[in-house]
Amino acid sequence: MVRVAPEDVVARTTRVFETNDMNSTPFPTRPMDVVALNVQEFTSDLDMNNAPSLDVICRRFVADTNLALVWLIRFRALKAWCTRADMVDWLHTTGAGASQDVCEVAASFQLNDRWEFDAERFCSAVDVIASQRSRHQQG
């Protein structure tokens, strides 16, 4: 039996995805490699209560399967953030526009080493977006 080191598998997989003409997004091998999505890409048909199948996600990003993977990684990070007890409480006290602001931030926020959003920094980023939106609506 031949054993292959995990880093060799990642390196081979990365080369395959990077040389595929269909993909312009690099294959994310580390959290820092997960590229930002625009808000429309991330929030289109987003239903936080029902995760779409991998087939649905791949059809959405048919020209770039690595982007489909990025969407899935960001969705799972957002779901993990939303299910934390302290974040559930924070969301309830934040206000009506919070879910839109949260999704906007999740589209591009940097992931930590656990492939998740750092809760405190993520909340701060949501607060900034909400403040900007509030000023824009008042102005």
Map the chain to HEC letters.
Answer: CCCCCHHHHHHHHHHHHHHCCCCCCCCCCCHHHCCCCCHHHHHCCCCCCCCCCHHHHHHHCCCCHHHHHHHHHHHHHHHHHHHCHHHHHHHHHHCCCHHHHHHHHHCCCCCCCCCCCCHHHHHHHHHHHHHHHHHHHHC
Q: Is the pLDDT of residue 91 over 90?
A: no
Contact 80, 86 (CB under 8 A): no
More confident residue, 51 or 66: 66
Please name the residues in contact with 36: beta carbons below 8 A apart, sequence gap of 6 or more.
107, 108
Predicted TM-score of the model (pTM)? 0.78
Instruction: Give how far the C-alpha of residue 124 lies from the chain's centroid of Cα atoms, to the nearest Å.
Output: 17
Predicted local confidence at residue 82, as pLDDT: 87
Digit-coded pLDDT (tens) for 25-61: 999 999 999 999 999 999 988 888 888 888 999 999 9
Give the model's confidence band at 11: pLDDT under 50 very low, under 70 low, under 90 confident, else very high: very low
Contact 37, 71 (CB under 8 A): yes
Closest CA to 35 of 59, 61, 12, 11: 61
Q: Is the pLDDT of residue 21 over 60?
A: no
